[in-house]
Structure formats: C-alpha cells, structure tokens
Structure 1
Amino acid sequence: MKELEHISHFYFIGIGGIGMSALARYLNEQGKKVAGYDRIITKLSVKLEEEGIDIHYTDDFDKIPDGFKEIRTAQVVYTPAVPLDFGELVRFRESGITTIKRAQLLGQISRTMTCLAIAGTHGKTTTSAILAHLLYKSDVKMTAFLGGILEQYNTNYLCSGTDVMVVEADEFDRSFMQLDPDIAGITAMDADHLDIYGDVANFEKTFHDFARLLEGKALLVNEKLDLNGLKVGLESGDYLTQNEVIVNGAYHFDLKTPKEIVKDCFLKLPGRHNLSNAVLAMAVALEYGANAEKLKLALASFPGVERRFTYRIDTEKRVLIDDYAHHPTEINAVYQAVTEMYPDEKKLVIFQPHLFSRTRDFMDDFAQALSQFDKVALLDIYPARELPIEGISSELLCKNMNALENTPEIITVVEKLDLEEFIEEMDTRIILMLGAGDIGVEIQKLTQKWINA
C-alpha cells in the first residue's frame, strides 16, 4: 500500500453503503484508523461498529476525533450520493484535508495488487461475486470488494490475502476510469445513467475508454459486445459453453477454453444471464491462472448474491422472489429466468422504479419489459439522489403499458401500506418484487409476516 502508506486515518462519509463499507473494513484490517458518518443505522454499519470502527449518525464535524483532521496523515472518502454542500464535507475541505471519491480510493488500492475488474451495466455484482468465490475456494490469496452481499458468507467483503483484488468496475460517474486493472471482464453495455452521460454515444465511448486501459493485458467481453478482446458466450466465443442441459433447475455444461475443455461444470443459479455471468467469471479466473478443476468444484458450490433472484419464500402456497433489477434489460432477464423455472404458472411482479431520470429515459422499454408478466403493480418512483421530474411518474408508466397491444391482466400503482392486501387479492403463487430502492424493506416485512403466519 505504498500509495497510502503516509495515510494513517481514513474518514468515510456514507460509510454504511455497500461499496464504502467494504473499503472501510479492508483499511481497518490493514491497521489503519477508520471512522465515518452515515445518515441511518444499517446492518452494515452495525457490523462495522462491531469491528471497532467509530460511526456517528448526525452531521457534526466537532464529533470527529482530531486524528482524522490532520492534513498530512488523514484522508476523507465520500460517496457521490453525498451532496457537495454536506456540512462535514464542507468543513473538511475548508480545513485543507484531502477529500476523494470512493472510486479514487479503489483506484489507489488497485495499484497495490493484481486487479481483476468486472464492468458492465448488468451482471457485474453477480459476476464479481462468482469470481471472488471461485478464487477464494481455489486458495488464491485475494481481496474482494463486492456490490452485494454474498450469501452464506454474509458479507460484501471477502479476504484471504492481498495478491489479487476483485472489484466491480462501476460505470456510474465514470468511476471505473480510476482503476488500474490487469484483467477485466465486461458483461454488458446497455445504456444507463444518461443523466450523467447525456446520450448513448458518450455512454458507450466511456466503455471503449475503459477497454483501452487493458491494451496489452487480458480483456474478456460478452460475445454480443462490439469491443476488442477475448469473446465469452453461450453461443460463440473463445470461452464457450457446450453440451448445455438443465436438470432440476440447474445448468450442466462443458466449458471450452482456448487451451482445453473443462467438462461437467455445474451452476445452480437460474437464468441464462447468470450462466453467462458464470462463464465470464470462470474465464477471468482462468486467464489469471487459477486451476481449472478447482474452479469447476468452486462453481458448483456458489451460494448466490442477496437480492439477485433470491428466494425469500418457496412453498406450495407461495413463491416470493426478490431481485435488484432496476433496468429494462435486467427485468427481461428476470422474466426469462422465472419463465424457465415456472413455465405454466401466472406471475405477479411488484416493481419500484429507481430514479426519475432512468424512468423517463427508458419509459417505453420499462413498459415492454414489465408487460411480459401476467399482473403488474408499481410502487412510486424511488428518487435516490434526484428531485422529481415534472410529469414522470409510476402512473405514466402504467398508462404507457395500457397502450401496448398485449397488456397484463392487471396494471396498477400500489401504495406501500396496501401492498400486502393487494398481493393477497391477486391470489398468484409466483410473486416477484424488483427494484434498487427501498423495496427491500417491504420485502423483509412481508417475508417475516408470511413465514411466521
């Protein structure tokens, strides 16, 4: 950690976030002094406090210990979700303390290890989680910073050493351009974050810029992408599945690589998008030099990522599936997976749109994707970092769905308070709850009530 050797104190603004908390835990393990602020208490922030990290939950610069205010030895890390006029951030800057975004810290750390980066508008959390699990089980000394909770491990941070770093290369705010990757995989390039990029051309240009970081190194890309690199796919590519069959909801396949065929691979995650993610993770691990047989055994035991096609309830009466899907392409992938698993049953989807700008930019695509389900209910748009945009609402999305040629049996907007009663009235066994906002809180409430009923 030569680039960070002179820094003894790290203060995180937004420390409880999924990405920030993993970095805080890593630095804490490295013997650095770590503290931070967050707006609310979460499971992640509680875990950080249990590990000895000091956290407070009010915007109060005077509560911060003096060691974190030393210009020469302290560094402040903040998430883009924090407003630039946030009190503590303003005070730190006025004091002359170095303040950097989370992505810049990731970039600093990426220069201290062999960096394996996973980019893409969809699938990067699952793919990087699979890659981390594969390397961990293959006895590689690795550190992983994940954008989701790895089930069974119950963590977004996995560490067995510091030879290799596994990280999500996030396109939001061009964050991935801060990294120094040695091997990278790219899952998808579907347009997103147009509030930042302005148009599709600028969005795609940034992915090409990221790919150029890998010149002379190993870049692996989904077979469908117009990028130079080793192709990875289910239909064609340098890394390719063969003899694929589904048995009891799990994929069995052989993996053809440029050097060999890895026979009898097994993946229990549903959905061809997850199979594609797994193949990319295997390809990155093999390019790094991990043992193929160890990787195959590890893939068979991959436990999944929380809120990625997670079964909250699975009984004869009710199946409740929880997924983070918040982009039309991701909703399409969930639909493909659930239809593969339950081809003859009706499906109810509860969707919480995430961001007014994303809902506006992909209104027609959202309408088409959601209309594949038999019954659709929308929660109000989750604003996250945005202010409302006039005229953009869940009601408008419902209207657009009703205008389509093939429409679901039910299309409506539901208040959170009425959600349980609505679902009961629908009398549908297969229920999917999708979104990247606070819909997870509602899922937890319903799960606890129905499990205890």
Structure 2
Amino acid sequence: MLEIGQIKKVYFLGIGGIGMSGLALFLLKQGKQVFGYDLTPSTVTQSLSDQGAVIHYTEDIEAIPAGIDLVVLTPAIPKSHKELIYFQENRIPIVKRSELLGIICKGFPVVAVSGSHGKTTTTSMTTHLLHSISHPTLAFIGGISQNLGSNLLYDADYQTIVVEADEFDRSFLTLYPRIGVITSMDADHLDVYGDLSHMIAAFQEFTNQIDRTGALVIHQSVAHLIEHPNKITYGDTEDADFYFQIDHETPVETQFSICKKMEDGDPVCFHNLKMKSTGFHNLLNGLAAFLAVKELLGLKMDSENRADFQSIFDSFETWQGVKRRFEYRIKSDNLVYIDDYAHQPQELEAIINAVKKIYSSEKVVGVFQPHLYTRTRDFLHEFAEALALLDEVILLDIYPARELPIEGITSDYLLQLVENPNKIKLSKQELVPYLVNRKPKVLITMGAGDIGVLVPEIEKALKSL
C-alpha cells in the first residue's frame, strides 16, 4: 500500500471541493508539493494558493508539472476530462479522495462520523471538544469550522484522527475506525445504492470495520437496523442509553442536561450545560460528539465524576458552529437571515421547524436550490411537503453538479407540488432584487449547490435596506 512518506508531489483534480481541499492542506502542512485543477476560483482555492499550492482553472495538460507521484480524484471530474486522460495514459497512480483519506488514517485511532445528515456538525463538534481539552488531533471536516476558520485541524503531534465519513460512492468503506458514529440513515444517494436497503447494508459494512474493542455511537431511531457488539444509542427520549433534556432555550443559547439511563435506578444526569446555539439538531449532534469523545478517552459517567467531564462540558459553550450550517448572517431586531447547507427533505424540515419555533411570531421566507436531478426526482413529494412548512417559498433552478438533466424533473414541477399559495420560481439573477423589494423579516437560504456564492451578495443587499 502507498505510504504518505513516499509521496512528494501530488496533483488534485477538483482541488476546491471541501473534502479535497482538506487533504491538500494536510499534505501542504506535511511539506509536500501540491498542485491542482478546479473549475473556478474560490475562497478555498485562494487559501490553498496562499499556503503554497499551485492551482489553475482550465483543462490544460501543459499546466501539469513533471514528476507527479500521485493524482487525487473527486467524483465530480468527468471521465472525458483532458487532464484525467493524460494521467491515465501516462500510468500515473490515481486514487479517489476517500482512498487517500484511508491511507492517512492507517495506524491511528480514528473517530469516523457518518450519517445521511448531521455528520458535518457532529464532526466539527467532536473536533472542537478534543481540541479544547488539548488532545492532539488531526481532523478533516466537511465544512468550515467557525472556531478554526478551516476544514482542517492539524496538530503536528496528532494522536487521534477525526474524519467525516461520507456514504456517497461508499467512500466510508476505506476507514477502519476505533469509534464510529451514525447520526442518521435516511434514504439518499439512490443513484449509487438503488434503494434504502442497499444503503443500510453499506452502513452495516462500515460498522463491521469498527474496531471490536471500540464502539458504535448511533442515533436511537436507526439503532435497530445496525449490529455491533458495543452499540451505544443516543437521542432525546429515555429509551436511549444517553439522552438530552432541554432546560431553557433562547434565540442565542440553550441550557440542557445530558443523562445516562441506568438499568437498576434513576438516570445519572449532568445539568446546567450550555451551548451558544439553538436547534434540536445541534443538541443531538452535540450529544453524539460528547459520546464519541467519552468512548475514545475511556471515560465512565456516574453521579460522582462530573469533574472528569467538566472541561469537555465547558467546550460546548465555546463551539461557534460551521459555515452554512444554521449560520446567522444577519441577526437584528428588524431582520434575521440564516443560511444552511440543507439539501435533503429531512434537513429542510428540521431547519424550517427550528426557525419557526425561535421566531414564532414572524413569517419565514425560504429560498431553496435543489441539488441533483436524481435526488429531486427520488424525493419530489418529500421536498414539497417540507417546503410547504414555510410561509413563503422561493425556488431556484436545480443545481446539476455531476449530473445531466432528467426529462420532466425541474424546479417548476417541484413548485407545482408545494401546497402553499405563496410560492415563486426565480433565477439566480432575479433573487437579490426580489428579496430587496420583498424585505423579509426572517429569511432562510438552503441548498448544497452554488447558492452559497449568492449568500454574501444577499447579506450585503439586505444590510443596506
């Protein structure tokens, strides 16, 4: 197997992706020479360039330097890409992003966070908890941590690796973690799996690769679907091994308790914990992160040892979130603007309900850019039901990513299915002028496509009102 020490000069095809850029940054910090291609410049590619990566933005084999040891490939690159063909014809080793991640993780205790949603926030929280207690950590996060300002935590003397374990294309099967986390298993990536049962089978295969002396931390709603000898369930009800209780909640802070179910008596609960964020989903993800850290460090929870956990509990209060995950862009008396990466029906429902709960007296306007034709086709009615929860629905065209259009699958058709009289389909060019004229009191933008590029423009326009 290829070893990191053997790599000197690496080329990334699709270097600007959130997963690819984290790997590129890691290799730069390891003293490797990093080169790459991406379709368009971004803040991510600029940051990599500032730290020494050489990046270009056209398909040009003349821009490829001599002596490349390894090519790292993202699934977004088409097979017809000129540079990919060049590397294939010249027999230069090519690995998927997930394969390189597996190579990096070899020989280290790994915390791998998986799930069809919630994994980026949970990975960020796990990373933050370990970093806050000075546990030497290397972490690859599927988003930009607000605490780190990066998708990578790199302690040069790292002893543990935290990774976001992506189920797309069965990528997480390159990992052999000590602690595995499954936050959810809602149907997704059916273009890869065909149906939910095959997706669950892949999660079981991932679970089978968890160290038998380690642990599986899994949400109580899906725990019955997965087998592991040390399965720890979490959730918000007393049926779970560990659960949380909300003690008090405001738009800027949540006070909560973490409880452990006891077989022969009252639960053990640690009270008066605080998180500078709101939302049911953040508490779930925080609990999963806490359990992952607890199991990694071999800590036991009983009524007498709160002091063993206090530094971890204190870290909850300093966690600042992840960019594009329930991210407040504007929070004032006259306007609230929240941006989120939500791109599945369950995620849309979660954020819409959370925002409506916090701002119950205001009308909530939501902008959604569907991501992938296949996902939109597979969950048309679920998307329509989730969007109907909004007071006003604004749809953008479907973001295709790696896909070609599917006949009949359009945002116009999805909009027809939304049972809400206050709905409209707009182009990206029409969106900002519409919002300026509309002057919403509470706005959410949602989607995993290039809607994120519009967010600063929307923020600037609304702040000028």
Structure-2-length-normalised TM-score: 0.92
Q: Give 2:316's aligned residue.
A: 299
Matches within 5 A, 1:92-171: 92-160=87-155, 161-171=157-167
Give the drift of 1:56.
Answer: 1.7
Q: Are residues 286 and 191 of structure 1, via their aligned partners in 2, closer, same or farther at CA, if it must alter by over 3 Å?
A: same
Give the drift of 1:4.
Answer: 2.3
Rounded Cα–Cα distance in structure 2 between residues aligned with 1:439 and 1:64: 31
Q: Give 2:331's aligned residue.
A: 314
Secondary structure of the corresponding residue to residue 357 of structure 1: helix
Give the drift of 1:152.
Answer: 3.8
Matches within 5 A, 1:240-319: 240-242=243-245, 244-247=247-250, 249-257=252-260, 261-289=269-297, 292-319=309-336
Give the drift of 1:215.
Answer: 5.4
Q: Is the 8 A contact 2:112 2:164 kept in 1?
A: yes
1:362-389 deviation digits (Å, cap 9, x = unpaired): 0000000000111101001111111000
**RMSD value over aligned CA atoms?**
1.8
How many residues are paired up?
443
Which of 184, 187, 193 is residue 191 of structure 1 equivalent to? 187
Q: Is the 8 A contact 1:253 1:265 kept in 2?
A: yes
Q: Give 1:420's aligned residue.
A: 432
Rounded Cα–Cα distance in structure 1 between residues aligned with 2:137 and 2:91: 35
Decide which moves more: 174-183 or 7-16.
Answer: 7-16
Aligned partner letter, 2:175: L
1:318-341 deviation digits (Å, cap 9, x = unpaired): 211101101000001101210221
Give the drift of 1:55.
Answer: 1.4
Q: Are residues 421 and 58 of structure 1, via their aligned partners in 2, closer, same or farther at CA, if it must alter by over 3 Å?
A: closer
The yes-or-no answer on 1:439 pairing with 2:451 is yes
Structure 2 segments unaligned to the other structure (5+ residues)? 263-267, 300-307
Rounded Cα–Cα distance in structure 2 between residues aligned with 1:443 and 1:394: 20
Q: Give 1:62's aligned residue.
A: 62
Q: Give 1:383's aligned residue.
A: 400
Q: Is the 8 A contact 2:436 2:461 kept in 1?
A: no
1:231-262 deviation digits (Å, cap 9, x = unpaired): 01111322222463324542212222479644
Rounded Cα–Cα distance in structure 1 between residues aligned with 2:291 and 2:49: 37
Rounded Cα–Cα distance in structure 1 between residues aligned with 2:414 and 2:361: 27
Q: Is the 8 A contact 1:141 1:164 kept in 2?
A: yes
Q: Is the 8 A contact 2:250 2:278 kept in 1?
A: no
Q: Give 1:211's aligned residue.
A: 207
Runs of 4+ in structure 1 over 6 Å off:
none
Aligned partner letter, 1:417: Q
Secondary structure of the corresponding residue to residue 11 of structure 1: strand
Decide which moves more: 325-334 or 249-258.
Answer: 249-258
Q: Give 1:404's aligned residue.
A: none
Which of 79, 85, 94 is residue 80 of structure 2 equivalent to? 85
Secondary structure of the corresponding residue to residue 345 of structure 1: coil
Aligned partner letter, 2:120: T
Give the drift of 1:423.
Answer: 2.3
Identity over aligned pairs, percent: 40
Rounded Cα–Cα distance in structure 2 between residues aligned with 1:55 and 1:153: 23
Rounded Cα–Cα distance in structure 1 between residues aligned with 2:67 and 2:20: 20
Aligned partner letter, 1:372: L
Q: Are residues 425 and 114 of structure 1, via their aligned partners in 2, closer, same or farther at CA, if it must alter by over 3 Å?
A: same
Structure-1-length-normalised TM-score: 0.94
Q: Give 2:423's aligned residue.
A: 411
Secondary structure of the corresponding residue to residue 19 of structure 2: helix
Give the drift of 1:61.
Answer: 2.1
Q: Is the 8 A contact 1:269 1:275 kept in 2?
A: no
Rounded Cα–Cα distance in structure 1 between residues aligned with 2:390 and 2:245: 31
Rounded Cα–Cα distance in structure 2 between residues aligned with 1:368 and 1:195: 22
Q: Give 1:233's aligned residue.
A: 235
Aligned partner letter, 2:254: Y
Q: Are residues 449 and 204 of structure 1, via their aligned partners in 2, closer, same or farther at CA, if it must alter by over 3 Å?
A: same
Rounded Cα–Cα distance in structure 1 between residues aligned with 2:133 and 2:321: 17
Secondary structure of the corresponding residue to residue 375 of structure 2: helix
Secondary structure of the corresponding residue to residue 219 of structure 1: strand
Secondary structure of the corresponding residue to residue 449 of structure 1: helix
Decide which moves more: 228-237 or 38-47.
Answer: 228-237
Secondary structure of the corresponding residue to residue 5 of structure 1: helix
1:245-303 deviation digits (Å, cap 9, x = unpaired): 32454221222247964432211222111110000001001111175211111111000
Secondary structure of the corresponding residue to residue 186 of structure 2: coil
Aligned partner letter, 1:95: N
Q: Give 2:380's aligned residue.
A: 363
Q: Are residues 4 and 152 of structure 1, via their aligned partners in 2, closer, same or farther at CA, if it must alter by over 3 Å?
A: closer
Give the drift of 1:83.
Answer: 0.8
Rounded Cα–Cα distance in structure 2 between residues aligned with 1:270 and 1:248: 6
Secondary structure of the corresponding residue to residue 3 of structure 2: helix
Q: Is the 8 A contact 2:249 2:278 kept in 1?
A: no
Rounded Cα–Cα distance in structure 1 between residues aligned with 2:458 and 2:437: 15
Rounded Cα–Cα distance in structure 1 between residues aligned with 2:135 and 2:203: 29
Decide which moves more: 232-241 or 379-388.
Answer: 232-241
Q: Give 2:198's aligned residue.
A: 202
Q: Give 2:305's aligned residue.
A: none
